Amino acid sequence: MSLAITHFAFGAAVTMLVVTFLAPRLRFPRTVSVLGGIWAMVPDAHHVSPAYTEFFRSIQESVYANVFWAHGYLDTLDPADTNEAALVAIAFFLVATVVAETAEYYFETGVQRRFGREARAQATVSSLGGTFATRESRVTGSFSRLGVGALLRTVRLVGGLLAVVGGVGLHYLLFRTGSYLGLFAGVGALLELVGAVTLLEDPAVTRWTDEHLSPWVRDGARAGVVVAACLLALPLVFSLSTPTPLAVLNAAVGGLLVLTAVRL
């Protein structure tokens, strides 16, 4: 049987992807993802539950265990509770998080929709106020909108920076472990690429690069990054020649690398 962290990471990752692409307007998507991870561990509840132990054990030993995000199937694939399977599940969760965050950048999140509604409502009130609106209220409203925009921009920049730091950390870990080199390299490069794209899409950064870097330098750097990402993605995708769960994960990371590089 797989470790509890394996089931949790896999269940949370699958829930996150389902919510992102099938229910993008659902509120509190990260909370739902955590609940999905807990749902995936339900058949193992007999290890900690003070009651209904036999009930939970019967679920784990039946075909209904797969209702809990393929719990039974994962136990069959990993009968020895290996740390390697847990590492693969955690890496899958990390990749799913990157995919969800990238998708939410293109499709409005609940928070963005709420801010949009508030901004539109405030604009409507200001227009209806007409001559009755004082200069002070207009200035206050402007500062409020600027504050929200600055907050969202700061969150994006911090997220991009953390993604780059996480990718560099995985590449550092790459030299300290002798296993899963391709996976560590791919996920690390993916995080670095997502972080770089997020930072470069900031208007201030874009203006700075336009003013201080010539077009051929920008185009050359962009082409170099795309080529490097594709070269790294190729062996990851070709690992599907021997289909295993790890090969599928490697191929998924390789595909995400190419898709993210295209955004440059």
Residue 76: both structure tokens together: 């069959």
3-class DSSP state for residue 107?
Answer: coil
Cβ contact 34:117 at 8 Å: no
Whole-angstrom distance, CA of residue 192 vs CA of residue 256? 12
Calculate mean pLDDT across residues 172-185.
74
* CA R_g for the chain: 23
**Mean pLDDT over each residue of the chain, to the nearest integer:** 76
Q: Mean pLDDT check: name the lowest of 76-85, 136-145, 164-173, 224-233.
A: 136-145
Q: Is the confidence at residue 116, as pLDDT, over 80?
A: no
Residue 239 pLDDT class (50, 70, 90 cuts): confident
Residue 10 pLDDT class (50, 70, 90 cuts): very high
Cβ contact 163:198 at 8 Å: yes
Highest mean pLDDT among 57-71, 111-125, 148-162, 175-189: 57-71
| 181-199: pLDDT as tens digits | 777 888 888 888 888 877 8
Domain ranges of the chain: 1-107, 154-264
Whole-angstrom distance, CA of residue 128 vs CA of residue 230? 54
Angle of helix 29-40 relative to helix 4-22, nearest 10 degrees? 140
Cβ contact 252:95 at 8 Å: yes
Entry pTM: 0.45
Q: How far is CA 145 from CA 139, 141, 150, 153, 216, in A?
A: 10, 6, 9, 12, 37
Provide the percentage of residues in the chain whose pLDDT is more than 70: 80
